[in-house]
């Protein structure tokens, strides 16, 4: 007869305090685990089980399901159900002893405590930057890998985070569900509303030690301080240009990508910035949000950003006779500003002009001393201010960073782009107070005013003839030089004469 040997019980070797070859029956292990919390990970013994035994464990757990009576959600342990119930009851038993903030789960409190301790245990192995949460490190790593998992189904734009995609979708829906109860201004994001409401309620406790400007949030102060220290941490991947703020970099990169996500609801025109779209749509709606502080006249456009307070150049000219300077804030705020400046006022001994910081006074003194510390690397021209040097060097480099989003024309100076935009908007802010004629540029109004005054500032040094414009004097000088630069079969003094000749 063939003897059928019974299978031996499962033997697991365990080395602990010198004890080896201990025989453990698996049936005992299962009985032991029934009393444990179901959320404990599988032990070494369970990992060695067959697939059949694993399925048996799952079946046992489903029998011991704990269901929430409020929302029907099920849990594998009584403990997890109790923690979940805090969502419905609002109970937050774990309180921070530093600031009093409470949390439903102890793990959330532990994570919050890093705000006070400054601990950042999660470090990027690429750049060394540290984070308080592992999720933040995971998001940060996408910057190095270039992965953008979240795609907009409207315009195919991709984002690092799902939250960024949600914010972006408001561009397409134009939804602004969050409204300020004090001034009625609407916002697409709740966080933007909270930051806005601090303008009405919060104390501006964050002060810049260089110029004493105050801010409602620490992040705004941090951004502002980069102006003084010259820090520009955000670099364009297309042209190596650097910026002090991420938002400025984002706006700049649209020049390279040609992206124009903001479309007019009245016509097919598109814009790279929401502010330009808002400005454009006033042409269709006829909205005039800017009111003159001296009369009841209203305007569609304004050179300032504050509504109903700041006068444009044309308005200032109209109200010269009142001899009242337009206010950008209330009389009370003006007095507070004056007092603050008086406490730390730095006065120029040459002209008596006052400044709020020693640095600004030192820069101003160059006007009197003639010092020009900033020299062009391409030519010998020197400048008082670094900004003037930067603008000048674009003549040599050919850089024109300011591009019109309507026609693509580029400019070296932002002021030239602003002036050019009036061609598209039709705005003519400079108005003659004699005849009511309007102009796009103040220089054109100045030339026009000479028609009324009869003044002719440009005099020929050969025959003493006077002219309204310098360009007219230049044309006249050809009479004396007899120069004929424009050539065909015949020579002509003036290009306009040559044009007429061709006709």
Contact present, 89 and 102 (Cβ < 8 Å): no
Name residue, tokens 């979940």: 84
CATH of 123-250, one of 3.40.50.300, 3.30.160.60, 3.50.50.60, 3.30.465.10: 3.30.160.60
- Please, which pLDDT band fits residue 462 given cuts at 50, 70 and 90? confident
Distant-in-sequence, close-in-space partners of 270: CB < 8 Å, separation ≥ 6: 260, 261, 262, 263, 264
Contact present, 435 and 452 (Cβ < 8 Å): yes
**Reported CATH class of domain 456-502:** alpha beta
What's the chain's average pLDDT? 75
Q: Which CATH architecture has domain 74-117?
A: 2-Layer Sandwich (3.30)
> Residue ranges of the domains in the chain?
26-64, 74-117, 123-250, 456-502
More confident residue, 497 or 227: 227
Structural Rg of the chain based on CA atoms:
36
The pair of three-digit structure tokens given for residue 254, joined into one six-digit string = 């649209």
- Please, which pLDDT band fits residue 27 given cuts at 50, 70 and 90? very low
| Bridge partners, 491 (sequence order) | 487
**How confident is the model over 131-163, as pLDDT tens digits?**
888 888 887 887 788 777 788 888 878 887 788
pLDDT value of position 339: 58
Contact present, 76 and 39 (Cβ < 8 Å): yes
pLDDT value of position 334: 59
Q: What is the pTM of this model?
A: 0.31
b/e map 151-178, b = 16+ CB within 10 Å: ebeeeebebbeeebbeebeebeeeeeeb
* Range from 26-35, 105-114, 255-264 that averages highest in pLDDT: 105-114
Neighbour count for residue 477 (Cβ, 10 Å): 12
| CATH topology match: 123-250 vs 456-502 | yes
The pair of three-digit structure tokens given for residue 188, joined into one six-digit string = 């697409």
């Amino acid at each position: 007869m063939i003897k059928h040997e019974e299978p031996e019980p499962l033997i697991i070797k365990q080395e602990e305090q010198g004890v080896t070859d201990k025989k453990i029956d698996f049936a005992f292990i299962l009985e032991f685990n029934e009393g444990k919390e179901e959320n404990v990970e599988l032990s070494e013994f369970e990992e060695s089980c067959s697939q059949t035994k694993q399925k048996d464990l799952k079946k046992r757990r489903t029998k011991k399901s704990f269901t929430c009576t409020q929302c029907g959600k099920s849990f594998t342990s009584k403990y997890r159900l109790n923690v979940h119930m805090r969502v419905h009851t609002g109970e937050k038993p774990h309180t921070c002893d530093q600031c009093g903030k409470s949390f439903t789960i102890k793990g959330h409190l532990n994570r919050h405590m890093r705000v006070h301790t400054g601990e950042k245990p999660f470090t990027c192995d690429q750049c060394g930057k540290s984070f308080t949460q592992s999720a933040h490190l995971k998001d940060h790593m996408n910057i190095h890998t270039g992965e953008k998992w979240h795609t907009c189904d409207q315009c195919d734009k991709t984002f690092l985070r799902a939250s960024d995609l949600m914010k972006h979708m408001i561009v397409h829906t134009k939804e602004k569900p969050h409204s300020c109860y004090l001034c009625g201004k609407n916002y697409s994001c709740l966080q933007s509303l909270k930051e806005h409401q601090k303008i009405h309620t919060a104390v501006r406790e964050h002060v810049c030690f260089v110029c004493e400007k105050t801010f409602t949030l620490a992040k705004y102060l941090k951004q502002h301080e980069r102006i003084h220290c010259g820090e520009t941490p955000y670099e364009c991947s297309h042209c190596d240009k650097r910026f002090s703020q991420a938002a400025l970099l984002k706006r700049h990169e649209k020049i390279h990508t040609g992206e124009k996500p903001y479309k007019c609801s009245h016509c097919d025109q598109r814009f790279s910035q929401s502010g330009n779209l808002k400005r454009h749509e006033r042409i269709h709606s006829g909205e005039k949000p800017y009111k003159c502080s001296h009369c009841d006249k209203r305007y569609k456009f304004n050179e300032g950003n504050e509504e109903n307070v700041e006068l444009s150049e044309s308005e200032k000219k109209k109200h010269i006779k009142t001899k009242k300077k337009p206010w950008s804030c209330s009389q009370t705020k003006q007095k507070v500003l004056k007092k603050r400046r008086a406490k730390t006022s730095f006065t120029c001994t040459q002209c008596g002009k006052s400044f709020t910081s020693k640095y600004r006074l030192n820069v101003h003194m160059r006007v009197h001393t003639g010092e020009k510390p900033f020299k062009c690397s391409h030519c010998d021209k020197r400048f008082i201010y670094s900004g003037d040097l930067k603008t000048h060097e674009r003549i040599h480099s050919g850089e024109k960073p300011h591009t019109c989003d309507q026609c693509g024309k580029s400019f070296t100076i932002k002021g030239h782009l602003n002036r050019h935009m009036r061609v598209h908007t039709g705005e003519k802010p400079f108005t003659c107070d004699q005849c009511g004629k309007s102009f796009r540029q103040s220089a054109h109004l100045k030339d026009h005013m000479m028609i009324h005054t009869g003044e002719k500032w440009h005099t020929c040094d050969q025959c003493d003839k006077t002219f309204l414009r310098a360009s007219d004097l230049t044309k006249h000088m050809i009479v004396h030089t007899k120069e004929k630069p424009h050539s065909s079969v015949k020579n002509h003094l003036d290009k306009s004469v040559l044009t007429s000749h061709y006709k």
